[in-house]
Amino acid sequence: MQILLALLCISVAAAPMCMSVPTKGASVRNTMHSITSIAQTTLVHIKKLRTELPVSPQMEVNTPSIEGLTSISHDLGLLDNELQNPFTELLSQIQADVSSLKGRVISLAKTIHCPPMGPTVAARPIGESSDNLFPDSYATQTLTKVQNYLEKFLLNKDKLKVC
């Protein structure tokens, strides 16, 4: 009985020493892992959403190059704005994912002391849309843009280490 009591006292006394604040390196790794997980989850959401939209012809969209955290946050800001179309309520989950992803990228950039990102992308005024007449086509094109960008991003996730 005394041995169990002694072990309990030692484990209670040693517990605070075993728990420590994560190092900056561990925090950066955790954030990078979180970013890639959100990107992968968003791709799953896009694939699920595509089953709910009418089938459309294959679209060709240009995907910007991924150079580092600054370009990634800028590109995610542009995609976030495109997803805020009032005629495409189906895209609300994807928009939330992209917005969250953008926030994590900006947070990572601050953590690793990247220079200021410059002005953020201005939000689209409410009611303004680039394609009011064909909301399904607009939704499909926007989903294709986001999907292509995130697939390219995941292939270049090492750019998360570059400002």
**What pTM did the predictor assign?**
0.75
The model's pLDDT over 138-163, given as tens digits with 9 standing for 90+, comes to 788 889 999 999 999 999 999 999 99
Q: Which residues of 24-42 are buried (b: 16+ CB within 10 A; e: fewer)?
A: eeeebeebbeebbebbeeb
Give percent above pLDDT 90 in the chain: 48
Q: How far apart are CA 63 and CA 149, in angstroms?
A: 6
The model's pLDDT over 101-129, given as tens digits with 9 standing for 90+, comes to 999 999 999 999 988 766 555 454 444 44
pLDDT value for 90: 78
